[in-house]
């Protein structure tokens, strides 16, 4: 599984990272582990999954985490997470 994370501000890509997980773990575990790794690389606290995020991700394998998803103040508009390759 490959998941692409993009940090966006004013419609510009600030940073991005692709996390690859080839383990035999469940899809859910891979997603949460990739999010944790991306947040570590970006020096961010992990965002909270709101119902909106869960629904978007179930439908499109993609979601955006806005400021209300983070405990601390963020200096970008949103963090986008998208599955680009599944096992």
Whether residue 84 contacts residue 2, with contact meaning beta carbons closer than 8 Å, is answered with yes
Domain boundaries, the chain: 2-85
pLDDT of residue 47: 97
The pLDDT tens digits for 6-60 are 999 999 999 999 999 999 999 999 999 999 999 999 999 999 999 999 999 999 9
The pLDDT tens digits for 56-83 are 999 999 999 999 999 999 999 999 999 9
**Distance in angstroms (rounded) separating the CA atoms of residues 7 and 25:** 26
* Sequence-separated (6 or more) residues with CB below 8 Å from residue 87: 1, 22
pTM: 0.93
Indicate if the pLDDT at residue 87 is higher than 90.
no
Closest of 12, 49, 68, 71 to residue 81, by C-alpha:
49
């Amino acid at each position: 599984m490959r998941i692409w994370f993009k940090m966006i501000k004013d419609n510009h890509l600030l940073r991005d990272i692709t996390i690859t997980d080839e383990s035999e773990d469940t899809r859910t575990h891979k997603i949460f582990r990739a999010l944790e790794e991306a947040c570590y690389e970006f020096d961010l606290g992990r965002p909270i999954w709101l119902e909106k995020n869960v629904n978007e991700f179930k439908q499109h394998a993609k979601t955006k985490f806005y400021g209300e998803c983070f405990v601390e103040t963020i200096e970008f508009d949103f963090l986008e997470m998208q599955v680009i390759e599944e096992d």
